[in-house]
Structure 1
Amino acid sequence: MKKLSILLKGIVVGFVSCAIPGVSASTFAIILGVYYTMIESISMILKNFKKSMGFLVFMLLGYAIGALLAAILVSTIYDKYPLAIVIIIICFIVGSLPNMIKDLIPHIKKVSGWIVFIVIVGLFIAYSGFVVKHEEITFVDMNYVDYIKLLIIGLITSITLVIPGMDFAVVLLSLGYYYAIMDLMKNLLFLNDVLNNLLILGTYLVGYGVGCFLLSNLIKKLVKKHEAIMKFATFAFVVVSPYMIIKKCIIDNDGFYYSNGQLIVGIIIGIIALLSVMLMYRLTNKDDKRVNAMKKRNMLRFYFTLIRELPVTFYYLIKMKKMTKKQELTFEEKYAFCQKILAKVNKLGNVYPVVVGLENVDKNATLYIVNHQGRYDGIGALSALKDFPCSFIADKKRICWPFYRELSTLLEAIELELDNPRSEIKALQEMSEGLINGRSYLAFIEGKYEDNGNNLQEFKTGVLKTAYRAKVKITPVVLYDTYLVYGKSSIKKISPEIHFLKPIEYEEFAEINRKELADIIKEKMQNEINIINTRKGV
């Protein structure tokens, strides 16, 4: 299963690298959690051959399959819809610019960086004018000079594997070899002139392979020692590539043709492509390059949920906004609608919560005290209470995103500013009144989460005041593995657990102080976590 996973990730990286200019293979490898393993395997291949090849064989095989699929897609569609493809490719590239500019801002005054930028842009413009001018690069009637050129192209493009942000397709486009390479792979797949095409591809791969193995350590050192200059170099490749594409595919192409339909389709898909690339760059924290830290912070499942059925996402978001303005709706009606959305979110995200202890829940006013692990906690706890309407109290800063904001409004959530004592007093007073009037509330007693996983943090006793004032029962709720939902680089099926413990009636805590009550709740929750840990063998 592990080898199959590596193969599938290789297919994704290969396809994206060749088919989507602007999204580099290394960036997407980071998203999928295989980048650092890949670089380590390449650099350690002589010292630990067996282990390195055990990973690289399946990764490279997957990459080759993905690249072949990309070649068929790009070559076939480009022949029929050249303008649309040019627009889409340029939009993919432009979508990567904001992230690159953001990275360059701290180095904006670095003169050496701008010199490198100008030199690279100038060289490519000169290359397009003197080498590629009025010339379609093909692999027909090649002589030894052409093979040497191809070897050098392989060497140059190999650096895209080790520099995050530098894109294989963009570099090939800048050099004028992109469509020639795509056509070559398509012809190989359809068994056209196999021996000759294998020789040509083999020449390129020799250059690429030599570059990967010989340059990987050098490039890593350069990136580490001259990070800013390497960022300017990457930026230069990206900035110059739209010019190279337009010049080669449109200005210097006498056979170029287009239609209004191509233009419209290209613009629509191009905008989607641009936004998608910008979204992809938010999937990783590039400042923290530790594999485990990257996985913890990765929001792949969240974005996958949004993108998987994009029209449905927009439909529900618009409908939620409209419902927030309908004053005639009862709380129960709004709650039922929100539950439909939460069920959809779970299904699209491949999340199947396991709910335990619903026999401890009823529709009477209850303060649910919940531990906090991550961004999914509110969704998980609320979806578990499908048939038991309740609201929640939350930090205003945590619910500022679309969907969370609308969900908060529909469920009449109480918002507070954690660093504002007056706001907290007002929020707790409002919550007490809601409990007195029969409303149930979810409260995350730890306040915040900080990569704490299934470990309980310090309990904040302030929220317990509301149970004393309203004289309502408290039901401890244990969330287990919910931090993995939006904190792991995976979209595999996941089953976080939500456990409702036996309620603590008001009469049981009326005579003790909040600190003692918090200790009792924490002990009950920790005991439940210990039971789950034992069951799971943790």
Structure 2
Amino acid sequence: MVLHAVPKANKMIANKNRYSEKERFVYAKWIIDYMRRHARTRTRVYGRENIPTDSNYIMYPNHQGKYDALGIILAQDKPCGVLWGKKQAERLMSRQVCGLIDAVVIDLDNNRDKVRAIMDVTRQVRSGRNFLIFPEGGYTDNKNELQEFQAGCFSCSLQSKTPIVPVALFDSYKSMNSNTFERVDTQVHFLKPILYSEYGELKKKEVAELVKSRIAERLAQIKAGEINESYELIG
């Protein structure tokens, strides 16, 4: 698969004038789905009706592991970019996916690069693109527990005035984990969008706390077994 996909992806990346954003995104999803199947992962997708159809948007999920962005991208019909950590983006296949979806790569250890990346994402969102940003930055062994949300990334929403879509990930850390070869079931929950009219007067830190509280509420409901909504199954 790698011998086939890497050259084709590289060709599409090098000739973006010949391949539309949609075509490149579809091929990126094909690669991601192969990785999902190879990782023996199934994903339950909740709340797709909450994804805006009349506006571009920024998604802010919690962060657990390698599969997080992949599970969210697979649930997208329209192309979206990702603010992707440099260390993860340099891996084989991740590098190709990043290029195909025009991801913005960020060095989380370099404050100047953080500013550059946030400005780049803001510019792209203003131009009409959808984006995925992990406000926790990286991940450790936090599993289904939330980490601190970094307020700086929410300037992308405050400046672009686009809807915020909180996304709750559950058990995503179990996928692509070398400690298990068993089948893994993960969950992606797209929560009700937060419109600019609701968050526009808030400061970045207050927006971060608002989004975090929405995700925390959904995680608590999942853990308590209170989710009875229908879902779509990927896998």
Which residue of the partner structure matches residue 527 of structure 1?
A: 217
Q: 1:402 aligns with which of 82, 92, 104?
A: 92
Which residue of the partner structure matches residue 104 of structure 2?
A: 414
CA contact (8 A) 1:351 1:495 kept: yes
Which one has the bigger helix percentage?
1
Which residue of the partner structure matches residue 10 of structure 2?
A: 321
Which one has the bigger strand percentage?
2
Alpha-carbon distance in 2 for matches of 1:526, 1:505: 19
Q: Which has the higher contact order (CA 8 A, sep 6+)?
A: 2
Rg (Cα) greater in structure: 1
Task: Give the aligned length.
Answer: 225
The 5 Å alignment of 1:94-133 reads none
CA contact (8 A) 2:79 2:101 kept: no
1:488, distance to aligned residue in structure 2 (A): 5.3
The 5 Å alignment of 1:136-535 reads 312-328=1-17, 329-363=19-53, 364-385=55-76, 387-487=77-177, 489-535=179-225
- Residue 225 of structure 2 aligns to a residue whose secondary structure is helix
Give the % identical residues: 29
Encode CA deviations 1:170-191: one digit per residue, 9 max, x unaligned.
Answer: xxxxxxxxxxxxxxxxxxxxxx
Encode CA deviations 1:436-480: one digit per residue, 9 max, x unaligned.
Answer: 111011001000111000000000011100111111110000110
- Residue 368 of structure 1 aligns to a residue whose secondary structure is strand
> What code does the residue aligned with 2:49 have?
E
1:522, distance to aligned residue in structure 2 (A): 0.9
CA RMSD of aligned residues (A): 1.5
1:405, distance to aligned residue in structure 2 (A): 0.7
CA contact (8 A) 2:57 2:165 kept: yes
In the superposition, the TM-score normalised over structure 2's length comes to 0.91
CA contact (8 A) 2:155 2:204 kept: yes
> What code does the residue aligned with 1:376 have?
Y
Alpha-carbon distance in 1 for matches of 2:156, 2:52: 19
The 5 Å alignment of 1:21-32 reads none
> What code does the residue aligned with 2:158 have?
Y
In the superposition, the TM-score normalised over structure 1's length comes to 0.41
Mean alpha-carbon deviation: is it higher for 469-478 or for 315-324? 315-324
Alpha-carbon distance in 2 for matches of 1:476, 1:362: 12
Alpha-carbon distance in 1 for matches of 2:93, 2:124: 23
Encode CA deviations 1:191-247: one digit per residue, 9 max, x unaligned.
Answer: xxxxxxxxxxxxxxxxxxxxxxxxxxxxxxxxxxxxxxxxxxxxxxxxxxxxxxxxx
Alpha-carbon distance in 2 for matches of 1:487, 1:350: 11
Encode CA deviations 1:279-304: one digit per residue, 9 max, x unaligned.
Answer: xxxxxxxxxxxxxxxxxxxxxxxxxx
- Residue 375 of structure 1 aligns to a residue whose secondary structure is coil
Encode CA deviations 1:13-66: one digit per residue, 9 max, x unaligned.
Answer: xxxxxxxxxxxxxxxxxxxxxxxxxxxxxxxxxxxxxxxxxxxxxxxxxxxxxx
CA contact (8 A) 1:358 1:500 kept: yes
Structure 1: gaps (5+ residues): 1-311
CA contact (8 A) 1:381 1:498 kept: yes
CA contact (8 A) 1:362 1:388 kept: no
Q: Which runs of 4+ in 1 moved over 3 A?
A: none
Alpha-carbon distance in 2 for matches of 1:518, 1:463: 9
